[in-house]
Amino acid sequence: MSSEQTNTSSTEGVKLAGATSSTADEQSGKSSVGRKVAAGAILLAGVGYVLTLFVMGLSDRNAAERDFISYWAAGSLAVQGGNPYDPEAVRQLEVNAGRDRNAMVLVMRNPPVALPLVAPLGLVSPKVALIAWLILLIGSFGASIWLVWLMHGKPGSSYHLIAIGFAPALACLMAGQFGMFLLLGVVLFLYSEQRRPMLAGAALLLCTFKPHLFVPVGVVLALWIVTARKWRVAVGCVGAVTAALGIALAIDPQAVNQYLSFMRAGEAASERIPALSVALRFAISPHSTWIQFVPLILACAWAGWYFWTRREQWNWGDHGMIVLLVAAMCAPYGFLTDECMLLPALLAGVYTAVERKRSLVPIAFFAGAALLELLAGVEMKTPYFMWTTPAWLVWYLYATRGSIEAESRSISAPAL
């Protein structure tokens, strides 16, 4: 056989082997995709079945027993031309929906920018509104988990599924609270701030639904926008807030005055909320409301210093998580449901700990303890949940120690 024939045979053999390998890879890929599609279909069918059973058991009274009823009542009053922040008008609606007359009236404490979101709820019955609201919350939760997974490079592990057992998220769904929107706002900002700054700014609208939880973050955000000249983020934020406020005033022209009057009444100040700042106030002087704002002021001062000393290497996915955790811990008041917004920090700590081969026992202990308390029926307003915000901060510091300052690990959005 000639050398030319030998080379030809060799080349054809290589091509045949390559084609066989390529075919095998394609078949393997198709098989993998097929398995994922099948698994996804089974999961969706299971979720759909559970939701169907859940929805069938709902009634107006079920809605009236949740925090959600305050949003429905506010929406109802807003679309009817009433005052969504009037405790007596809210009480009457809630009692008519099935709430116990002796139960505490639940008035929506969110500022008027939230009215465009809750107003449509008032167009339907409490039961229908609750179903739509839960679908919206679950969709926001799922989108947030997916975006966090993308931000961390689509890891092959399933650690992001830890989020499903995160006690604040489950508590938020059980109560029908706003926490999921805070989470979505934080995640959308982190996902978009480098490549889509205006979208990142607009996402901050969701955080204004409970602005007292983000004051130190706001301090850093303002400094960052000015020093890094991130004007498009500012434009997106101001534009979104202005639009939401404009819609709110179109629905209720007196919304701002009504909200300010309600807040000046200071009903929230009389509650023993499971927050460190509130505990500090009741320990020193129960009637001195200003005391519970001291931790917030100190946190703002610390946040300004923390940013300024790191402004050249600032990374929201790393440094920003610490500020967010401190802001939640030092908030003048807050509940377990609000801690949904800390999920990106919790998962970032998990991924970093796995990468650096650090133990996951601390987060398993903290998350497990919070989940057991919740499932055991411990009331969220009791002091037994006061430990959670410090625990999430301790976990993040433990998981990322030495890594944040040593490297500037970006979690900006990859291409979809």
Each residue's pLDDT, cut to its tens digit, for the chain (416 residues) gives 555 555 545 455 544 444 444 554 555 555 555 555 555 555 455 455 445 545 555 666 677 788 899 999 999 999 999 999 999 999 999 998 888 888 888 899 999 999 999 999 999 988 889 989 999 999 999 999 999 999 988 887 778 778 888 999 999 988 889 999 999 999 999 999 999 999 999 999 999 999 999 999 999 999 999 999 999 999 999 999 999 999 999 999 999 999 999 988 766 666 778 888 888 888 898 888 889 899 999 999 999 999 999 999 999 999 999 999 999 999 998 899 999 999 999 999 999 998 889 999 999 999 999 999 999 988 888 888 899 999 999 999 999 987 665 544 444 444 44
User: At 99, phi and psi to the nearest 5?
Assistant: -75, 145
Q: What is the pTM of this model?
A: 0.83
Map out the domains of the chain as residue ranges. 39-264+271-400
60 vs 72, 93, 123, 127, 173, CA distance in Å?
11, 12, 14, 5, 17
Rounded to whole angstroms, the Cα distance separating 165 from 70 reads 26
What are 354's two structure tokens?
A: 């796995």
Rounded to whole angstroms, the Cα distance separating 50 from 268 reads 36
Rounded to whole angstroms, the Cα distance separating 346 from 365 reads 13
Please list the alpha-helical segments (H only) found in 84-151. Answer: 87-97, 115-118, 126-151
